[in-house]
Amino acid sequence: MVRKTLLALVAVLFLVSTALYAGTINRGAKTAGGTSFTTGAIIASEMNTDLDTIYTVINGNLDNANINAAAAVVVSKLDQTCCLLDADIVGDYSNNAAEQDNTVDPGTSGAAGNTLPTNLEKELENLRFKLHQLGIGTSSGAIASGAETNTTSTWIDGPYRPGNLIYNGGFDVLDDLTTSADGDGWTRVLTPTTLGASALTESEGQGDGNGLQVVDTGAALAGVQQTLDGLRADAKYLLTGMVYDTTGTCRLLTSGADTNELTLTSDDSSAWQRLSGTFETDSTPADVIIQLLAVAQSDDCIFNNIGVFEINTDPVAPGGKVHCYDSITTSTLNHYSGSADTDAGITCTVTPPGPGYMITVRGKLIAENETASSEGFEGDLRQACAATTTVDLSIEGGHTPTGNVLSDMAELEFFYVNDSPTAGQACTYTLRGRPDSANAWSRNDHDGDVNGTATTWIDVIMEPVG
């Protein structure tokens, strides 16, 4: 009897442990043999063992294996507030940049190492990281490069700073740039076989106007370049442009940047394509050179819409048009005397806040001859930036006055364009006049012979270009 009791106790302990740690439960062994009761052999302890096992599992130990896959329990019978999603995961999962970034270079087209989310946690990681990157930008390489097609998406760390820093990046002005001369905002790299305007048509998708055609000489990497000075410290810039490789390959190249210097090369597809990339400056930025090059001998390239834009995460306010106007109506007797240069008494000063600006200057100087002899009057427009130079000279011919009459008047007009002023450097513009002999001339109309009010004036406009 003792032996039977010990066997029954062992069976109970086995069944309880099985119910606690296994997904399904089994009936205990019976004294009469097997796991089922037989007629006339129902022992209370064995009955209790089966019932206790069932109660133990039902009272808090049911698991997924105990529920039939076909049960199809409806959602309304589940506690949706506690258990569909872990509150800790939903509430504060991936709440820092390290947890959010589970990719090598998110946002970059085709970047190696991007991992697709396989569960809710990873989905939250990717979503939070993308939102973070869209908001302030994080990746220096987050820009798609190469051929522009309908399936290519471009990721750019924002926000943009408006204004193209490249002068004449659309090449709609190409009067002076030739294979043997620099001009129109660009300088030559080596001596290309061909360097000049290439007419565009709307059917090409580039609009009307010109592109810049470059054919390499055979020395390799011939073309044009432009230097950007006065860039902001610790800032990120986007270089972008359209190229057409008629023959061979074309390249956009940068030098002088602190990091991410670019070498962007077309794919020799004989079609328009966009090349884009980002570079960064350091705490004391050097000048950055932008080059447009045909890569090898006889390579034939057309460039259009070249642009450099600041995309720093903390951009300064964009600069706009600055207008300075100064004039004088005072008539001063013998203001210009002898053959000395004398300031007309008006001035304008402007300071470009960054690269990509143009300064346009217009002016008029009015003077009156106070002698009865025939003599001339000269005037010039002076520009003082790093140094003072005569930038526009007007010379009035001699007069043969008869008394103080209208023919005694000299009206000199000035026009000048500074298409590449140095960023951060103030430029001051003034007018000067001088007689061509020892006699004297008055400022404006001293005798009142001119109808209306005689006015000597200067007008300076500084505005971003591109």
Rounded-to-integer distance, Cα 367 and Cα 443, Å: 5
pLDDT at residue 252, rounded to an integer? 96
CA proximity to 410, closest of 383, 375, 372: 375
CA proximity to 375, closest of 435, 333, 433: 435
pLDDT at residue 29, rounded to an integer? 81
Q: DSSP labels for 58-118? A: HTT---GGGS-GGG---GGGS-TTTSSS-HHHHHHTT-SHHHH--SSSTTSTT-TT-----
CA dihedral 202, 206, 212, 215 (to 10 degrees): -90
- Tens digits of pLDDT across the chain (466 residues): 444 444 444 444 444 444 444 466 778 788 777 778 777 778 888 888 888 888 888 887 888 777 887 888 887 787 766 555 554 445 455 555 555 555 544 444 344 444 566 667 667 777 766 666 565 444 433 333 333 333 333 444 444 445 789 999 999 888 899 999 998 999 999 999 999 999 988 777 777 788 999 999 877 899 999 999 888 888 889 999 999 999 999 999 999 988 889 999 998 888 899 999 999 998 888 899 999 999 999 999 999 999 999 886 555 555 678 999 999 998 999 999 877 899 999 999 999 887 888 999 999 999 888 876 777 889 999 999 988 899 998 887 655 554 444 457 888 999 999 988 988 899 999 999 988 777 788 998 877 666 667 889 999 999 988 6
Give the phi and the psi of residue 126 in degrees, each rounded to 5. -65, -45
Rounded-to-integer distance, Cα 376 and Cα 395, Å: 8
Instruction: Judge whether 339 and 436 are in contact, CB under 8 Å.
Output: yes
Q: Tell me the angle at which helices 2-21 and 44-58 cross, rounded to the nearest 10 degrees.
A: 10
CA proximity to 293, closest of 168, 186, 419, 392: 186
DSSP letter (8 states) at residue 176: S
Rounded-to-integer distance, Cα 178 and Cα 371, Å: 50
Q: Spell out the residues 6+ positions from residue 133 whose beta carbon is closer than 8 angstroms to its own.
A: 106, 107, 139, 142, 157
- C-alpha dihedral sign at 56, 61, 66, 71: positive
Distance of CA 170 to the CA centre of its chain: 17
Instruction: Judge whether 423 and 459 are in contact, CB under 8 Å.
Output: no
Q: Is 432 exposed, middle or buried (0-12, 13-18, 19+ CB in 10 A)?
A: middle
Instruction: Judge whether 240 and 154 are in contact, CB under 8 Å.
Output: no
DSSP letter (8 states) at residue 32: T
Alpha-carbon separation of residue 405 from 146, 338, 379 (angstroms): 71, 21, 21
Token pair recorded at residue 58: 């039902």
Give the phi and the psi of residue 245 in degrees, each rounded to 5. -95, 90
Token pair recorded at residue 31: 């004294």
Cis amide prior to 159 (ω within 30 degrees): yes
Check: pTM over 0.85? Answer yes or no: no
Contacts within 8 Å (CB) and 24+ apart, 392-401: 392/361, 392/416, 394/365, 398/374, 398/436, 399/369, 399/374, 399/375, 400/374, 401/369, 401/371, 401/372, 401/374
- C-alpha dihedral sign at 429, 434, 440, 442: negative
